[in-house]
């Protein structure tokens, strides 16, 4: 699928600025696939999800701030593709950092076999963490996601099943899963900060 003509893009942008209800849906429908295609071929996104998520980020950014787009400077498709390329580069960098962290952790873990006392302390700490999590008033969706997310599940399709979103379109499912997962991660981050504060 290729990008629409400049005229089509200008009309689409005008509809977005006017707040027309179906305009945002049309932006996704018309521009998502071509942006993803560019990210896969020009940026070399190895993971389909990275290309798709970067394109979604770009479109959502535009829909939240349509006034920031200047049609005198570039086509809408060019503007969105540039944002998506930056998001894809950020994802690639953070992915490489994560892999490096995991490798470093694996090496460190292999170098130090846990003593029985350490295992006991970890067990006690894990129980305290579970107790702390049980006291948090998680929303239903957050509670459903807690187990899979803590076990490292990241696939939209799997998390969508857990949330009962099978009936939604792929795009809507992605948006909902991202929204609930982001909210859960923020709450877990707050718990982690409180925990670190308590220990200091």
Q: Give the HSE-up count for residue 83: Cα atoms under 13 Å, Cβ half-sphere.
A: 22
Percent of the chain with pLDDT over 70: 68
Contact indicator for 88, 56 with CB cutoff of 8 Å: no
Report pLDDT for 108. Answer: 47
For 137-168, how does the pLDDT look when each residue is reduced to its tens digit (9 = 90+)?
667 776 777 777 767 777 878 888 878 887 88
User: Residue 180's closest CA among 196, 155, 168, 163?
Assistant: 163
| 16 vs 23: CA distance, rounded Å | 5
User: Residue 170's closest CA among 178, 57, 4?
Assistant: 178
Confidence bin at 109 (pLDDT 50/70/90): very low
For 121-138, how does the pLDDT look when each residue is reduced to its tens digit (9 = 90+)?
545 555 555 556 555 666
Higher pLDDT, residue 37 or 112: 37
- CB burial readout 51-74, b (16+ within 10 A) else e: bbbbbbbbbbbbeeebeebeeeee
């Amino acid at each position: 699928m290729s990008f629409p003509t400049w005229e089509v893009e200008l009309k689409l942008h005008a509809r977005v600025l006017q707040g027309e209800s179906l305009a945002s849906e049309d932006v996704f429908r018309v521009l998502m696939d071509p942006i993803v295609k560019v990210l896969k071929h020009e940026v070399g996104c190895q993971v389909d999800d990275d290309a798709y998520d970067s394109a979604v980020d770009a479109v959502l950014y535009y829909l939240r701030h349509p006034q920031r787009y200047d049609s005198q400077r570039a086509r809408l498709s060019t503007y969105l593709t540039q944002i998506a390329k930056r998001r894809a580069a950020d994802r690639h960098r953070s992915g490489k950092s994560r892999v490096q962290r995991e490798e470093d952790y694996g090496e460190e873990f292999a170098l130090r076999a846990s003593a029985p006392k350490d295992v006991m302390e970890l067990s006690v700490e894990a129980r305290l963490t579970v107790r702390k999590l049980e006291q948090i008033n998680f929303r239903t969706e957050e509670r459903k996601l807690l187990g899979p997310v803590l076990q490292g599940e990241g696939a939209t399709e799997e998390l969508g099943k857990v949330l009962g979103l099978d009936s939604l379109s792929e795009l809507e499912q992605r948006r909902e899963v991202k929204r609930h997962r982001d909210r859960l991660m923020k709450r877990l981050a707050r718990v982690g900060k409180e925990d670190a504060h308590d220990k200091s």
